[in-house]
Amino acid sequence: MRNSFVERVGLMREFHFVVTDPVGIHARPAGELVKYAKQFESKILVKKGDKSSDMKALLKLMGMGVRQGDEIEVTVEGADEADCAEKLEAYLKEKF
């Protein structure tokens, strides 16, 4: 299981997270995650395998089919990327 620290990659922040929630990222939790992500100015990209989504786009995020045990890669780029990446990783650890 790899829930890594926030890493600086070029002009963006990136971290990996393994989903531990038994139901993964589905309807209600996905909605809460999107709502949380929308408070940040930065662009947030979620990637699982060959699928990716803007974390602020509910239907695309749900369409990724993220389940318990799946590893996601989160990339944050923008004016508030440091704060965003740190808070988002903490949020995922707490909720998922």
Number of domains in the chain: 1
**Structural domain boundaries, residue 85:** 7-95
CATH code assigned at 53 = 3.30.1340.10
16 is catalytic: no
Considering the domain boundaries, does residue 25 fall inside one?
yes
User: What would the pLDDT profile of 50-79 be if each residue is shown by its tens digit?
Assistant: 999 999 999 999 999 999 999 999 999 999
CA distances from 15 to 21, 54, 59 (A): 18, 15, 22
Considering the domain boundaries, does residue 32 fall inside one?
yes
Considering the domain boundaries, does residue 1 fall inside one?
no
Considering the domain boundaries, does residue 2 fall inside one?
no
Q: Pick from 18, 27, 29, 33: which is nearest to 70 by CA?
A: 18
SS3 state of residue 87: helix
Considering the domain boundaries, does residue 56 fall inside one?
yes
Residue 1: per-residue pLDDT: 44
pTM of the model: 0.86
Q: Which of 26, 47, 67, 87 is catalytic?
A: 26
Q: How many CA atoms lie within 13 A of 73 on its CB side?
A: 12
